[in-house]
Each structure stands twice: as structure tokens, then as C-alpha cells.
Chains A and B, each alone.
Chain A
Amino acid sequence: MNYLFHILVMIGIYVILTQSLNLVMGYTGLLSVCHAAFYGIGAYASTLLMTGWGVNFFVALPIAVIVSVLLSFVVSIPSLRLKGDYFVLATLGFQAIIFGIMYNWVSFTRGPYGIPGIPIPTLFGFAFDSPASYTLLSLGLAALVVTFIYLITSSQFGRVLKAIREDEIATQALGRNTVLFKTTAFALGAGIAAIAGSLYAGYVRYIDPTSFTVAESLFLVTILAIGGSGNIQGPVVGTIILVLLPEVLRFLRIPDTIAPNIRMMLYALALILVVIYRPRGIAGEYGFE
């Protein structure tokens, strides 16, 4: 049963991550490969607050969100004027810088040694220390995030984001400050990714930089490409498939020495098949070009 709860917790965390990336990629049309950096910023910010200052998880979480949003401006304000490939390169650079800071600023982040002993989240004396209670927390926050994203994307705000995705020049010609909308979407995506980061830190209770690499950012992009983007259901479908895939391989009793490689090959195969036969992903609305 604990195994099932673990999978549900991870699905909750990844739904939050992919929904937040969906806001940037699926709705606004910006291919970002630095989402794991914001995930990491959220994890490190809340962890440092909890371990260093004894701040409660539920206070550390919103502060981590604010830190992530503020740091998103570092990348968005100079780079959102860039287009296409240049924007992707700018986000790749940001991802490398953040990973470099996590890895090399040992006095602050403990670098490759990671930070152990992260406190269990507690709320009004209730500790989320059982797999079942953490599942509730993870899925509860995921449900809140999905609801929030549904509300904002089904309104005029979401329509303008989609219009920018389709044609930014035409959107400007309708009187919309597209840079402001893109900056807002990017900041919201970064802030929501930080929620997933905090949730992850509180769950595994030990973090190190290897969880927040560019490979993780590309994995999130892959989930959206396979599941689909530009609507609510695409990222959920993609997350469920790609979180469950390694577990399926586990039941096939493939030796541990080759299982990770086979998993990567399957991801690549799935990605190629989707790109060729279903560019919008399994349940998506928007085919990222």
C-alpha cells in the first residue's frame, strides 16, 4: 500500500510541475528548459528556511514561491524579448547557472553533499508523516494548482496567452502588452514549480542538486510532448504515463543495471512516435513546433 501512496505522491508533484510548465509552454508557446531550476529553487528555499531558521513548511512554501517568482524575472525580463531558439538558449543558460549555484556554493547549499534531515511538514500540530497523509497533501495541492490553472486559462487571461502563442504580432496589434503577459505566465509557472519543489523536499527529506538538472527539465518537456499541452488534461495524462512507466518496467524484472537505459530508450521511442503520429500529444490541444 505504501508503494501505491508513493506513486500517488510523485504523480501529485509531477502534475504540479507539468501544469506549471504547461502555462509557459502549452498556453504561451514558450519552450522553456529551465523548469527544473525553479523546482530546485523551491526545494532549496523551503529546505533552507526549515532547516536553518526552523520555519514551518506551510510558511516556508509561500516564501519559496516568492523567491522563485522573483528569480524568474532574472531570466524573463531580459530574455522574453528573444524569440524561438534564442529564448530556449537563454533558459538553458539559466538552468546551468542555477544548477552551478546549487552544486558549487557549498557553504550555502552544501553542494553535492545535499541537505539531509528536512523536517516533516506539520499543520496545526498535525504531522504529514505517514504515506497516506502525504498523499493527501500532494494530491490536495495538485488539485488546487489544477483548479487555479483551469480558472485563469479559461478566462480572458488564458485566451490572450493562447493568442500570443499563435501570433504575438497580431496580439500586440489588438492592444495587448505581450511582454507583460509572457512575464506573468513565466513567473506564475516558476512560482507553481516552487510548490512542487517544496513538496518534494518535505517528502524525500533530503535534497541534492542532481534532482534539478537540465535532464529533469527535458523530462518535464517530454511529459508535455507525450501527454499534450495547451489544456488541463494533457499534462495529467502525460504525468500518469511517464511516472508509471518505470514502475511497469520494475514488474518486468529487468535487471537494475540496464533498467534506466531501457527507460530512456522507451521515453525516446514514445517521443518519436508521438511527434510523428500525434504532434498534439495524447490528450493535448496544442502541437508544439
Chain B
Amino acid sequence: MDLSKRCEDVPTLEVRNLTRFFGGVAAVKDVSIAFPPKRITALIGPNGAGKTTLFNLICGYIAPTRGEILLGHQSLRGLKPWQIARLGIGRLFQDVRVFGKLTALENVLVAFPNQVGERFWEPVVRRAQTLKMQRQNVERAMALLELVCLADRANTTAENLSYGQQKLLAIARLLAMDAKILLLDEPASGVHPAVLETVMNLMTSLAKQGRTVVFIEHNISVVLEVAHWVYVLDDGEVVAFGLPDEVIHDRVTREVYLGV
């Protein structure tokens, strides 16, 4: 995959007055944020602040109690997670969720959209086209694994990769599905410093390409290093936002998040 290639016409992802109650508790309360393309946005806040819930709402895993989620002018409310994914919104889960018994190569191959051979009759009726596309996709998948430094582990089952490698593999899957908007839930947590550098370089390159990168992170140095814009959430609400340097030194942020 060529990361210098421009990724054009990525629509802005926006949530407006997004609210989600669980029983009487508001996990997300009147959150309004726009995530424009080419920008890396960080969501920070203490545990239970509603960051992952916000991702779950955007991706359609839970329905909002009220509010709107827009991709450009299109509302995402009522769409199923797979329909939202097909619109180009890719999600890296906090617990990674690689397909453990599939090899790294197979994990990436699954992610390519619109493949010949995906409907059950095609491998039988359109055998030649299926095999041709499979060969092409193996090449593309190997290029992606190369990009995330996993080419030499292509035939290793995902369950036998380290945690950091699994995160890289999950990012390679997002690139294979050609996600224009990447929602990354704690991409830097629990990974080796060398892997962390690869992850941060990837995030920066993807944003430069024109994609939207949104990430949840507890590692403040990573936020300061890669984020263009930061939102601080607490108790389901946005309590501060701005440039990383400003936000980190903001009094409210230090109170709710850093506890100082």
C-alpha cells in the first residue's frame, strides 16, 4: 500500500448532541464533535468517561438515546455495524479482536471488500476469477503486512502473535478494508516501544493521506506527539477541547484526568 497516495473526498464525521443512557446513567451526554479529514483527533479522559461508548455509538453497536451521527450529510442512525463499516468507518477495538485461529495473512485477506468468491456460488461458478482475485489479494495483503512490519509472520496464527503485533495486524485489516475514517481505541496501550513508533508513524501518514484518524489514549506523550486536536471527556460530557499543549495544561483537564 502506498501511503503517499492521496485519499480524496473523505467526508467529515460529526456527532451532534449525542446522548446515551444506560438505565438512569448517562454514559454519553450531549456530545457534539466534528472529526474532519486529515486531522488526528485524540479523545482522553478517565476510565468510564464515555470514550469507548462514543465509538460504539458511532459504529452502530449501540443506539443513541438521542442526538445525531452524520457522515457528511448522511445520518448513520439506524444503520447496522457492517453497513457503517462499508461506508468507510474502521474500528480498532480496545481488546484488538483479531481472528485468533486464522493466520496474519488470512486476517488481512478477510478484510478486502467486494471480493469475487464471497458469495458461495462464485468459487464454483466463477472459479477462474475467484482464483485470480485471490492471487491479487495475497499480494496486496503481503504489502500491508510489510507496511506494519509483519510480513515475516504472515503464516503465523494471530493468537500466536504478541499483543503489539496483534494491534498492528488489526490496523493492517483496517487498511485492507480501505477505511477512510479510523477509530482507534487505545492503539498505544500495552505495546512495545518499537511497535508504538510504528503505530504513531502510521497514524501520522494516514492523516497526511487525507484520512480521518480518531483515537482514544491514556498515554499523554503519544497524544502530544501525534494529535492535532484533543477532546477531554468526563462523566459522558466534553469538558475541554483544543490543541494538545493547551488542553493538557488546562485546569479542568488536570483536575478530572490527571487528578492534580
Q: A residues within 8 Å of B by Cβ?
A: 148, 151-152, 154-157, 159-160, 162-163, 166-167, 169-178, 184, 188, 230, 285-286
Contact = CB atoms under 8 A, between A and B. Distances in A.
A7 B127 CA distance: 34
B177 A152 contact: no
Contacts of A175: 82, 85-86, 113, 177
17 contacts: A151-B124, A155-B130, A155-B134, A156-B115, A156-B116, A156-B123, A156-B130, A166-B99, A169-B93, A172-B80, A172-B81, A173-B81, A174-B82, A174-B110, A175-B177, A184-B120, A230-B101
A176 B115 contact: no
Contacts of A286: 101
Chain B, interface residues (CB within 8 Å), range:
35 or more
Contacts, number: 94
B118 interface: yes
Grouping DSSP codes into helix (H, G, I), strand (E, B) and loop, the A interface class, with mixed when no group exceeds half, is helix
B117 A157 contact: yes
- Name the 6 nearest CB pairs between A and B, nearest first: A155-B123, A155-B117, A175-B85, A170-B97, A166-B99, A156-B117
A160 B177 CA distance: 13
A174 B173 contact: yes
A154 B117 CA distance: 9
Interface of B: 59, 61, 80-82, 85-86, 90-91, 93, 97-102, 106, 109-113, 115-120, 122-124, 127, 130, 134, 173, 177
B82 A178 contact: yes
Contacts of B59: 173
Contacts of A169: 61, 81, 93, 97
Nearest to A23: B120
B47 to A, nearest CB: 21
A173 B130 CA distance: 23
Listed residue (B61, B111, B124) with the most chain A CB atoms within 10 angstroms of its CB:
B111
Contacts of B115: 156
A173 B99 contact: no
